Amino acid sequence: MSEPTAAPVVVIGAGPVGLAAAAHLAERGLDFVVLESGPSVAAAIEEWRHVKLFSPWRYDLDSAARRLLEGAGWTEPDLGALPTGGELIDAYLEPLTKTPQLNDRIRYGAQVAAVTRIGFDRIRTAGREAAPFLIRLADDTELLASAVIDAAGNWRTPNVLGGSGIPARGETTADGIAHALPDVLGADRDRYAGRRTAIVGAGHSAATTLLDLGVLAQDAPGTEIVWVVRGTDQARTYGGGEADELPARGALGSRLKKLVQSGQVELVGSFRIEAIGRTADGRVELTSGERTVVADTVVNSTGFRPDHEMVSELRLDLDPILGSTRALAPLIDPNKHSCGTVPPHGVDELAHPEPGYYAIGAKSYGRAPTFLLATGYEQARSVVAALAGDWTGARDVQLDLPETGVCSSNLAYGDNTDETGGCCGPTPVAPPTGRQLLTITENTRASC
């Protein structure tokens, strides 16, 4: 275990936002270590490396990370091009981990099991702020931290399929349910070609998979596509079309609408899943009242939720609805804000009653699907400035975001926010193949 006097800042998660925090810590001369649960950088993005973002490179690069890369002789990508998740890793994040400032600061295979204050549970107060954080890993090793920046994301904790916020009957033991953004046209093709697939969710992740399946159906006879949603009006998913400031994102909804109108996608609306079971021939059966949907595979594209269990002994001030900080909740409420209308925010809105602990990135938004990668980068900059004692810089928060036209008020269409699948978390669109995601985050989750 590290000595208290040498406790570094610990960053949890080596995705885009976690590494942005690391880059800012390096520039500020603060000691730090990055803990990544996966075997390599941005392990969550690695799972959807086939998906193309619909934010061009200029929205995908953190300022401090860019400066470190340029100092190491990095060649900047075409800022107007749209990278895939794999290109985001290979051309940006992986080189960033090799810079002198970061190359020996990242520990892979380091799954955080719990974060607390050494010698203090959540109840004890006197002397609490002076105690370093104690971080226990899944292998029972421990280290101390002077502060914790939690950029773990939410990719590992998808929303449930059940229509009431809890798992549908039979969901926890059901087979045949796939994670969002499967590689329908590549590694996972055999699972979907010539078979019937139900996509559950009304966000960009769902739209991307639907478009991929549409492409697959042209080459693989017998491929059937069912789109299952809780709402009755898909105007939110179809989005802003040509009015969208990100053209690739606007094209997503337009192409999906045509696919539905052509009959290639069977749209099943007002379907709130109550139970999941198996048919006599082994297929998955979704039940809503007297109605059923049967498919070979069900893809859960209902979005994500944060997991606060590992920090349950810290003193958190969480909004009871979104699961973000209470101060941040009204600024990101998907009933009022879209991806592009979230106002600038930083350390003050991210602070908890536990001094020195900050959740940033997709996790900071709780269940709100309006997260943007650019927003996460500004969060990282602001929090690190505060940890360095530069409160003027920390509070000078600025954001220049593209208007969305896609992430609109859910209330306007009577839909459940959980179904958005990340208006701006892993969120895709695609000109030729349908595989396109907007600027993603570490989980994820992704971003506008």
Q: Identify whether 27 is part of a domain.
A: yes
CA angle in degrees (0–180, nearest 5) for 23-24-28: 120
| pLDDT attached to residue 94 | 98
Closest CA to 210 of 410, 428, 52: 428
Q: Does one domain contain both 270 and 336? A: no
Q: What tokens were used for 415?
A: 């839909």
| pLDDT attached to residue 359 | 98
Q: Identify whether 105 is part of a domain.
A: yes
Q: Identify whether 441 is part of a domain.
A: no
Distance CA 20, CA 32 (A): 13
| pLDDT attached to residue 33 | 98
When pLDDT is cut at 50, 70 and 90, the band that residue 6 belongs to is: confident
* CB distance 422 to 444 below 8 Å: yes
Q: Does one domain contain both 290 and 404? A: no
Q: Identify whether 426 is part of a domain.
A: no
pLDDT tens-digit profile of 179-202? 999 999 999 999 999 999 999 998
Distance CA 397, CA 385 (A): 11
Q: Does one domain contain both 287 and 212? A: yes
* CB distance 229 to 202 below 8 Å: yes
Distance CA 54, CA 61 (A): 14
Q: Identify whether 166 is part of a domain.
A: no
Distance CA 221, CA 225 (A): 12
| pLDDT attached to residue 3 | 44
CATH number, domain with residue 265: 3.50.50.60
Final residue before a domain boundary, out of 300, 330, 361 = 300
Q: Identify whether 37 is part of a domain.
A: yes
pLDDT tens-digit profile of 85-107? 999 999 999 999 999 999 999 99
Q: Does one domain contain both 247 and 366? A: no
Q: Does one domain contain both 18 and 152? A: yes
Q: Does one domain contain both 229 and 253? A: yes
Q: What tokens were used for 369?
A: 């699907």
| pLDDT attached to residue 437 | 45
Q: Does one domain contain both 332 and 204? A: no
Q: Identify whether 175 is part of a domain.
A: yes
Q: Identify whether 50 is part of a domain.
A: yes
Final residue before a domain boundary, out of 300, 319, 354 = 300
Closest CA to 295 of 276, 311, 272, 269: 276
pLDDT tens-digit profile of 385-399? 999 999 999 999 988
Distance CA 228, CA 300 (A): 10
Q: Does one domain contain both 60 and 135? A: yes
More confident residue, 31 or 411: 31
Kindly report the average pLDDT of the chain as a whole number: 87
| pLDDT attached to residue 239 | 61
| pLDDT attached to residue 444 | 34
Count how many domains the chain has.
Answer: 2
When pLDDT is cut at 50, 70 and 90, the band that residue 371 belongs to is: confident
pLDDT tens-digit profile of 263-313? 999 999 999 999 999 999 999 999 999 999 999 999 999 999 999 999 999
Distance CA 248, CA 225 (A): 23
Distance CA 24, CA 28 (A): 6
Q: Measured in whole angstroms, how far is the alpha carbon of residue 28 from the centre of its chain?
A: 27
Angle between helices 63-71 and 16-28 (to 10 degrees): 70
Q: Does one domain contain both 21 and 135? A: yes
CA angle in degrees (0–180, nearest 5) for 177-181-186: 100
In the block, residue with structure tokens 């337009």: 254
> Whole domain around residue 227: which residue ranges?
171-300
Q: Does one domain contain both 68 and 146? A: yes
When pLDDT is cut at 50, 70 and 90, the band that residue 369 belongs to is: confident
Q: Does one domain contain both 10 and 96? A: yes
Q: Strands 297-300, 196-200: parallel, antiparallel or unpaired by DSSP?
A: parallel
Q: Does one domain contain both 11 and 152? A: yes
Final residue before a domain boundary, out of 285, 300, 315 = 300
Distance CA 77, CA 58 (A): 9
